[in-house]
Amino acid sequence: MLTRHRGLGARVYAGPEPEVGVLPVTLTAEGAADPLFAGLPRSFPTLQWHGDTFDLPEGATLLASSPAFPNQAFRYGRAAYGIQFHMEVLPEMAREWARVPEYAGSADRVLGEGGMGRLLADFDGAEAGMRATGRAMFERWAELAVPVAR
């Protein structure tokens, strides 16, 4: 399936294979200096669960990559960001996803038999760090997106 980012015109398409699991992303030099990611570790764990990828929109700055999907995060303009990975998932949501037969089947197809159980165990082991990173990213984005009038 081929689509385009509605607002930015870049191509979205199937990647070479699904990326599923608790996997690291690595900040580019621009990402390490970006206000959203500054001060975070150069590489950090994320929940990945996707098969599609995208081209960077014209004028966007690449901020993070992974070995399987080079376009993991980008900035467009001053405060518009796109991320491929999931930083919003809390333990309750991960458990809810695990109860969806299609998701459990997908995890088993990509990760092998018992894939969902291993994914949840990996998630539980990394959840506190992912939550802290996600919270820092969201708080920084809120400060960027809605500057405080002084």
Nearest to 39 by CA among 48, 47, 25, 27: 27
CATH of domain 3-143: 3.40.50.880
The domain ranges of the chain are 3-143
Each residue's pLDDT, cut to its tens digit, for the chain (150 residues) gives: 455 555 688 989 999 999 999 999 999 999 999 999 999 999 999 999 999 999 999 999 999 999 999 999 999 998 899 999 999 999 999 999 999 999 999 999 999 999 999 999 999 999 999 999 999 999 999 988 887 655
SS3 per-residue string spanning 72-130: CEEEECCCEEEECCECCCCHHHHHHHHCCHHHHHHHHHHHCCCHHHHHHHHHHHHHHHH
- Please check whether residue 37 is in contact with residue 136, taking contact to mean a CB–CB distance below 8 angstroms: no
Categorise residue 9: left if φ over 0, alpha if ψ from -120 to 50, beta otherwise.
left
Categorise residue 125: left if φ over 0, alpha if ψ from -120 to 50, beta otherwise.
alpha
